[in-house]
Amino acid sequence: MKKYFFMFIGFLMAALMAGCEKNIFNKNQEIVTNFESKIKISLDGQDDYIGTLVHTPEGVTTLTFSSPENLKGLSYSVAGGKYELSKNSLVAEYNMMPFQKNSYVFYILSFLDCVSNAENQSKITKNKEGLGIVCENEKFNFTLDENGRITNICMPSKNLNLEFTEHKC
């Protein structure tokens, strides 16, 4: 009887540990946060913005649009608490973020800063969409390729989707 009891307890513990493991991000997989990538931004599944996103682990980020035509050449950079918007030869510098806290640029920057922070990586969970994390009180789903590079970011509550292509590290 004891033999069956210990087998049952062992089986139960193995099942519980396997169940927990499915919801936890593999801490051994490194998320590449130092990159340059072409991106496609979709809002509500219809508006497409195309550009280049550069991000460093230190929080230096530059987003440069190549499409649509009215945004072509517009560049937004943030580094060390300084914000810069530029297009052609015009440059505007700010000490505060020039976008509202509900803008998609704000959420993109928040996500990248969030996953770049090693302390936040313990908050990453696995889900049916890939991986998930909460940043700025908003849920983000994202996927990584086999090298740990971000391939997609989705923010369901805002219908925001970023597709990453042509990574350069």
- pLDDT for res 97: 73
pTM: 0.77
103 backbone dihedrals φ, ψ, rounded to 5°: -80, 155
β-strand pairing of 61-67 with 75-79: antiparallel
> Which segments of the chain are extended strands (E)?
35-43, 47-55, 61-67, 75-79, 82-87, 90-94, 125-127, 130-135, 138-144, 150-155, 160-168
- pLDDT for res 27: 60
What stretch of H or E contains 12? helix 2-21
Query: Amino acid identity of 46?
Result: Q
> Running along the chain, 169 residues long, what does each successive block of 10 average in pLDDT?
43 39 56 91 85 87 93 91 90 79 84 87 88 92 92 93 85
Q: Tokens 């499915």, residue?
A: 22
- Domains in the chain: ranges and CATH: 2-168 (2.50.20)
